[in-house]
Chains A and B, each alone.
Chain A
Amino acid sequence: MHKFTLSAISIFSCCVLYGVSANAQQTDAISAARKDSLALYKADSTRRAQGSKFTGFLRDAATGKPVSGMNISVEAYSAALSDDKGRFTISVPNYDAVLVVKGQGYQLKEIPLKGRKKLPDVLLFEESFNSVYDEANLVTRPMAMNRTSNAVNIVNTQGSWENTSAEMPDTYLQGKVAGLSVVRRSGSPNAGANLFLRGFSSLFGTNAPLVIVDGMIYDTNQYGSSLMSGHTRNPFGNLDLRDIQSFTVLKDASASVYGTKGANGVILITTNSHPELATRIDLGIYGEYNYMGNNRMLPLMKAGDYRLYLADVLKSSGMTPEQVAAQPYFNDNPSSPTYAMYHNDRNWQKQAFKNGFNQNYNLRVSGGDNVARYVLSLGYANNKGITQNTGVTKFNTRFNADLNISRHLTVNANLSFNYAQQNLFDQTASETSPLYLSMIKSPLVGVNDVNAQGVPSPNLADVDAFGIGNPQAVFNKAKENDQNYRFLGGLNFKYDFNKSWAVQTLIGLTADKVRENYFVPRAGVANDTTANGVVDSRLGSQVQRLFNIYSDTRVTFNHTYNRIHYIGLNLGVRFSSFNTETNYNQSYNSAIDQLITVGNGDPLLNRTGGELGKYRWLNNYFTGDYRLYNKYIFNVTVAADASSRFGDRADGMDIGGKKMALLPAVSAAWIVSSEKFLADVNMLEMLKLRASYGLTGNDDIGNYASKQYYISQNWLGMQGLIRGNVGNPYLQWEVNKKLDLGLDASFFQERIGLTFDYFRNTTSHMITRSTAPTVSGLEYVVSNGGGMKTDGYELAINGRIINNSKFKWDLGFNIYTYRNRITALPSTYLSSYYGATILTQVGAPAGLFYGYRTDGIYRSNAEAAAAGISVRNSQGIPVAQQGGDVKFVDVNGDHIIDDADRQAIGNPNPDFSGAITTGFTYGRVSLNALITFSKGNKVYNETRRLLESESGPQNQLTSVNNRWRVDGQQTNMPRAAYGDPTMNNSFSDRWIEDGSYLRLRTLSVTYDVPLRYKGFKYLKVYATGNNLLTFTKYLGYDPEFAPTGNLLTNGIDNLLDPQFKTIMLGVRIGI
């Protein structure tokens, strides 16, 4: 580490020296440039006087009325205003110049003259119009979209006031960016979404794009897993969407500027910046209603069907018919003492879900003067989950300020603090998960204990005769929560030497803490048997900390020579130190259910542990932009990264014995429409061809995997140290080569816009884990042995279909598709997750489901006997199949169904996915809708596997009513068989479903109330519906879910809280 720090310092000083020397050299260039500009100025004055003039008309695109008071300029040459007829006359240096039109209430627009002396009327759209001239907040400077040579998307939130408070920055991006998959994890509040930009790049490293908030890395990694099963703390929950002004998504090799953190693309987030001077107060008050329609419930058996099923399955358990008939739940004599206990018809599922109300308050104050401008925002939200007693309470504050210390020095401060407390329960199929218990719980039994007369006692019923816990006991008595906060603060100092030269430095830190408390009572919850004993109550606590220091310093140079050559250069260095710490303590069997803190557990069963993580990252970067005539655009980016994670013998640039990742990227664009030969094609507003290619890296290779380390080990009460890994000094960053070919076009004065991209991302040196020999005592060895390739297409089209003064209709459509292939691996390997087996193999896409194919069931014993097929059970013994068993496809023809008969049965990656956005504005009412879709992705429905298992007393889906009973019965539902002796429930294509869906994600109506009262600027009323309509064939709660961020668990529905519907009514007042 010391060595690393040394080299980091040496590199840093190198860069600074280089910067200084560059500066020194450049001094001459500046004076030359000054001279040049003086000469130019003189030339310009004469030319202006001689007067090449240009006259045009500005009209409002909607009303067709002239637009007056707009500022029209030629950069660094002349300027003019439009008059009340919309007419303007401006001096132009030549007829190749580009006019820039700016003004309040309207979009920014560029008009390349292309040699024309006369133009049709220029139509201007409103300010919020999605234009090709919108400014993207790129890494180093803002840049109009039409001037970039890279695949970049911007999403302007417009404050995103019409969204519900459940929407977070990650989920908000769903459907907004072609190429960005946003898969919501679950319906749990704050659960957030998995983000995948243009597919995947890594098997074991992160696939999440890098998130930069106001120039600082926003750490979205998870450090340690939660005590609550199925829960992941989502760092996006600590970032308030309403503070976000815009997202800029770097999809191609331009992410290379972030070096070994850019492999998955970059999302740049800008919060409340550039406030106006006038004091503004915005107050938003929102009320929301969450509900889960009855039609969204799974069709579980009611008491009648369940009892018939129970008789069938118990008969198959080896009980005699007399024993079965003697069970208390089959005794219909009302005078029997257990009659009341077993003669209910309870809808446990319905009881688990609870509709709830959310509330949300936001206050934003902005204002200032010439010296200091600020935005202060405060927010409070209380969002309920869809299951009982779950929800999150959030507080957030953000303070952004721009300070002009002197003419040259500006300071920009961005400080935010967010706190959230979330109450939740275990999810997924476990005996402590109340939702799962609600599904499998017998409808015959009740919530409370009852006496022989059927009078309920206030005590909740304990584990029932079927060994299944009482979900209500978990809902009422379990205490599981997650409290977390994050402070994110950055100060950005910028010193402008002159118009061209500037130096700036950003210093920031992230402090984050998560505390989890966990308690599950013994009463009403089934016991579990662990390695050390039988456990009843379960207790736990965990603390995760994150402390990052970040700095980014750079020298920038911008200049346009003779209005022909634009040059923009940046040279900078970023440094970050990441510190993480996780401590957990799990315990069991507290004396009574009133003792709920972890210290009360049985000391013999205590488990404590934790992890420390520390690494440093240094990123030297250079970017150079060159534009010729605003038509030909070139960009070069080079990053040189060092990281404490890299091995000493990694394959990289050697500086002082340390290996650095050298990652260059180039891009070029040609604005074809600015060529003269297209000057007369008036329908064409803009046509740009782009190409980029470059290297990015992924440094998520483990903090210490390249080093040799030791871990503690307890053996018969003796504590010792053993080797924790095989240190691999050759371990290096994953390399991701990104190729992008794109086209941006805009037609009919921007009425229609189109972006198309082909991309190909190739990962080499991909981190793999190869199984270590048993004698090594280690499970696996980490190396750079893999490769992966993802390619695909993106298309986004936006259009304004109707454009009247009263009525406007926008329609947008984006779609994208990717194909993922693993190109290199040390060996094929299988992983499993919630009963699914996932194949990772060269030539196959990642995450492929691997199991048996089935062909219905054997309709009769004779048919099964004729087939003569046995299934190898969990003990490895072949068991002959009989009528009503699933007909597995015997691949190798050996008449035994076992591991050798597995094949690929489904790909969780979609054929394509995308979104449709539409917006209507009618007078003061506007309506916006977002429809998202995904097609062709396969989903493993573990929930249905559990609920159609027919192997025990667990309640089943109504489809099980069709179970096979007798020879010749026409059905595809296998027989009920206690304990599943013939492995009918093996992981097979029976559980693989089509996860395609089309969803009306958001529908919102805004009404701008006309106000005559002077004190108020505006009053807006919102009504928003979330997740209102879903069209899918998927048989689970919801086709969209993500159990983890790991791509090998994609498409596995392990029964997380489903997404629900929310209706919001809100009001926003501006003063």
Chain B
Amino acid sequence: MNHIKIKILVLMVLMAAGISCKKQWDSQSAGTDQQLNQNLMQAISAQSNLSTFAGYLSKLGYDKLLSSSLTYTVWAPDNQALSAIDQSIVADTAKLRAFVNNHIAKQSFFTADAKTGIRVRTLGGKRITFTSTGVEDATITTPNRYVANGVLHIINKALPPKMNIYEFIKNLTGTGQLVRTYILGQDTSYTDTTKATVSGIDKTTGKPILVAGTGLVSMNKYAARVANIQSEDSLYTFFVLTDNAYNNERNKISKYFKTVSGSVDTTMNMLAALNVLKDVAVKGVVLPANLPASLKSVNGVPVPIDKSTILQTYQASNGIVYVIDKMDFAVSDKITPIIIQGEAPTFFARTDRRSNYAYRVKNDPNGITYHDLMVSGSGLPAAYYAGYRLSNLYTCQYKVIWRAINDFYTTNTNISQRLGFSMIRNTVGRDGFLPLVQFPYTNVTPLNYNEVTLTGATNPNPTAGGTISVVSGTLSVDKYSSVDMFLQGANSTTVNANIFTADYIKLIPILN
């Protein structure tokens, strides 16, 4: 009998011990906001006007994604908005996925985060522009429905994924075909050795042997060099020239790219095309309403715009595209002076005279800093020179100017130096030069900070088939080519008599 009582008592003790007493936490943890007990998928499913979108999500298996513990933002178009979309998208799972992906982004974005508009990358990789009131061209009807794992915005228009500029050009039909051909022609691929499959190591070289066809990376050279119109992360205003406009512009400048004389020159056309098209991309989005008469291209060249000739406008995912029938570039903006900095020579007459070179940083009387080269000092050979290799000189005559500053004598003394041009000769190279265009020795007067035009060039070594020649006592490039330029001191070994110097040399194309 007593034993039973003990058992009962022990039982009581154990029961008392088991009673939960951490109830005080219930009120602290319990959400005042029932929304936080839902996840995104539940929140979407609970909204009757989002049933279509919810159906798409379930169809794609995104219900799991939006119930997970990762944070998402969903811009959910209401049923009315989705009734307007093309049913073929709905039928094709791949298209539907791309469509739905464009409405979902990782992390949470509230309208308060988007005061000035932000570009949010969606699951599909495209970015969409999110402002405090809308997203792309849709208006947010119910903003900022926060739930446990993110935020839901209800919008009144669907956000079908847009093409980017490159895709737009690729899909051009009818108009702008020359531009399309050019841009697509820049597609190329290369092998990224870090991505290629390695089959083994070459025993002799020790280098990895790559399996052919692996590690191939596609790229577009235009996108790489001029404007990355393939990237979703950049924003451009891009002008597609109609064939007519393209031809006009190319013809205006093609003679400056002539590589052969008197026949059809495909190289010339390619170079001219690049020269035209490098200036049709502008950074940022300039909407039609804001289009000025002129913009600056990505290369800083003025882009003249005649709004009346715009044939088509397309809002791409990474910018805006205008198809335009006229773009009257100024030739002087396209064929621009070539400036060679004196302090950046390619080579010298000899390799053992380093002690004679001075790369100076000085202020001119206006307080503007300049860098120049000064070659001087004892042991400097007579007629010593600095060589400059000049690439891709336009096919035309040039006005040749130097700015050489003679400020190194305590008593004002002229120095004498000259400039010559030769074709690139692999054999002689740096050991001597064979000028086809030779300006005479010219005095550099003391403390003259102005540009000096050089004249009176002669051709001491006439050569048949030369790419450069002397015309009207100045340099004429006859074929689009590269040349060597020589800056040469006086033919003397007297110290200080054979100094030469240059801040820069400018070759100004003479346009006609």
A297 to B25, CA, bound (A): 10
A925 and B25 contacting across the interface, CB-CB below 8 Å: no
B13 and A1028 contacting across the interface, CB-CB below 8 Å: yes
B17 and A961 contacting across the interface, CB-CB below 8 Å: no
Residues of chain B with a CB closer than 8 A to A1007's CB: 2, 6
A308 and B71 contacting across the interface, CB-CB below 8 Å: yes
A297 to B107, CA, bound (A): 31
A332 to B66, CA, bound (A): 13
Query: Is A656 part of the contact surface with B, judged by Cβ < 8 Å?
Result: no
A1003 and B13 contacting across the interface, CB-CB below 8 Å: yes
Say yes or no: A1025-B29 contact (C-beta < 8 A), given A315-B107, A1007-B2.
no
Chain B residues 49-76 with CB under 8 Å of chain A are: 68-71
B9 and A1023 contacting across the interface, CB-CB below 8 Å: yes
Q: Mark A141-184, 1 if CB is under 8 A from B, else 0.
A: 00000000000000000000000000000000000000000000
Chain A residues 410-442 with CB under 8 Å of chain B are: none
A966 and B110 contacting across the interface, CB-CB below 8 Å: yes
Q: In the complex, which residue of chain B has the Cβ closest to the Cβ of A304?
A: B69
Q: Which of B18, B107, B121 has the most CB of A within 10 A?
A: B107
Q: In the complex, which residue of chain B has the Cβ closest to the Cβ of A923?
A: B2
Residue positions of A touching B, CB distance < 8 A: 293, 295-299, 303-308, 311-312, 315, 321-322, 324-325, 330, 332, 861, 883, 922-925, 927, 957-959, 961-962, 965-967, 969-972, 1000, 1003, 1005, 1007, 1021, 1023, 1025, 1028-1035, 1061, 1063
B146 and A321 contacting across the interface, CB-CB below 8 Å: no
Residues of chain B with a CB closer than 8 A to A959's CB: 25, 28-29
Residue positions of B touching A, CB distance < 8 A: 2, 5-6, 9-10, 13-14, 16-22, 24-25, 28-29, 31-33, 36, 68-71, 105-110, 112, 120-121, 144, 146, 148-149, 151
A306 to B69, CA, bound (A): 8
A1061 to B14, CA, bound (A): 11
Residues of chain B with a CB closer than 8 A to A957's CB: 28-29
B109 and A961 contacting across the interface, CB-CB below 8 Å: no
Tell me if B's interface is mostly helix, strand, loop or mixed.
mixed
B70 and A883 contacting across the interface, CB-CB below 8 Å: no
A307 to B108, CA, bound (A): 13
Say yes or no: A1063-B32 contact (C-beta < 8 A), given A324-B107, A966-B146, A1005-B9.
no
A1025 and B16 contacting across the interface, CB-CB below 8 Å: yes
A1029 and B6 contacting across the interface, CB-CB below 8 Å: no
A1031 to B20, CA, bound (A): 10
Q: In the complex, which residue of chain A has the Cβ closest to the Cβ of B17?
A: A1028
Can you list 20 A-B pairs with a CB-CB distance of less than 8 A?
A293-B20, A296-B21, A297-B22, A298-B25, A308-B71, A311-B70, A312-B71, A321-B105, A321-B106, A330-B106, A924-B2, A961-B31, A965-B108, A965-B146, A967-B144, A972-B32, A1023-B6, A1030-B21, A1031-B21, A1063-B17
Q: Which of A305, A322, A332, A965 has the most CB of B within 10 A?
A: A965
Q: In the complex, which residue of chain B has the Cβ closest to the Cβ of A963?
A: B36
A1028 and B108 contacting across the interface, CB-CB below 8 Å: no
A305 to B70, CA, bound (A): 9
A969 and B69 contacting across the interface, CB-CB below 8 Å: no
Q: In the complex, which residue of chain B has the Cβ closest to the Cβ of A307?
A: B69
Tell me if A's interface is mostly helix, strand, loop or mixed.
mixed
A1003 to B15, CA, bound (A): 12
A962 and B32 contacting across the interface, CB-CB below 8 Å: yes
Contact among B28, B33, B109 with A321 in the assembled complex (CB-CB below 8 Å): B109
Say yes or no: A1035-B13 contact (C-beta < 8 A), given A321-B109, A959-B29, A970-B33.
no
B151 and A965 contacting across the interface, CB-CB below 8 Å: yes
A42 to B16, CA, bound (A): 67
A1005 and B107 contacting across the interface, CB-CB below 8 Å: no
A1021 to B144, CA, bound (A): 65
Min CB–CB distance B22 → chain A (angstroms): 4
Q: In the complex, which residue of chain B has the Cβ closest to the Cβ of A1009?
A: B2
Residues of chain A with a CB closer than 8 A to B70's CB: 307-308, 311, 330, 332
Residues of chain A with a CB closer than 8 A to B71's CB: 307-308, 311-312
Q: Which of B18, B22, B68 has the most CB of A within 10 A?
A: B22
Say yes or no: A295-B112 contact (C-beta < 8 A), given A923-B2, A965-B146, A970-B33.
no
Q: In the complex, which residue of chain A has the Cβ closest to the Cβ of B6?
A: A1007
Say yes or no: A1005-B10 contact (C-beta < 8 A), given A311-B108, A330-B70, A1035-B24.
yes
Say yes or no: A883-B112 contact (C-beta < 8 A), given A961-B148, A969-B146.
yes
Residues of chain A with a CB closer than 8 A to B120's CB: 321
B21 and A1029 contacting across the interface, CB-CB below 8 Å: yes
Min CB–CB distance B189 → chain A (angstroms): 26
Say yes or no: A1063-B13 contact (C-beta < 8 A), given A925-B6, A1035-B24.
yes
A962 and B9 contacting across the interface, CB-CB below 8 Å: no
Residues of chain A with a CB closer than 8 A to B14's CB: 1063
A296 and B22 contacting across the interface, CB-CB below 8 Å: yes
B31 and A962 contacting across the interface, CB-CB below 8 Å: yes
Say yes or no: A312-B21 contact (C-beta < 8 A), given A961-B29, A961-B36.
no
A312 to B69, CA, bound (A): 12
Nearest 7 interchain pairs by C-beta: A304-B69, A295-B20, A321-B107, A311-B71, A325-B106, A295-B22, A307-B69
Residues of chain A with a CB closer than 8 A to B109's CB: 321
A970 to B9, CA, bound (A): 48
A1063 to B17, CA, bound (A): 9
Residues of chain B with a CB closer than 8 A to A1023's CB: 6, 9-10, 13
Residues of chain A with a CB closer than 8 A to B32's CB: 962, 970-972
Residues of chain B with a CB closer than 8 A to A967's CB: 112, 144
Residues of chain B with a CB closer than 8 A to A1005's CB: 6, 9-10, 13
Contact among A308, A958, A969, A1033 with B24 in the assembled complex (CB-CB below 8 Å): A1033
Say yes or no: A308-B107 contact (C-beta < 8 A), given A1028-B13, A1063-B17.
no
A308 to B9, CA, bound (A): 47
A1063 to B6, CA, bound (A): 15
Residues of chain A with a CB closer than 8 A to B110's CB: 965-966
A967 to B107, CA, bound (A): 18
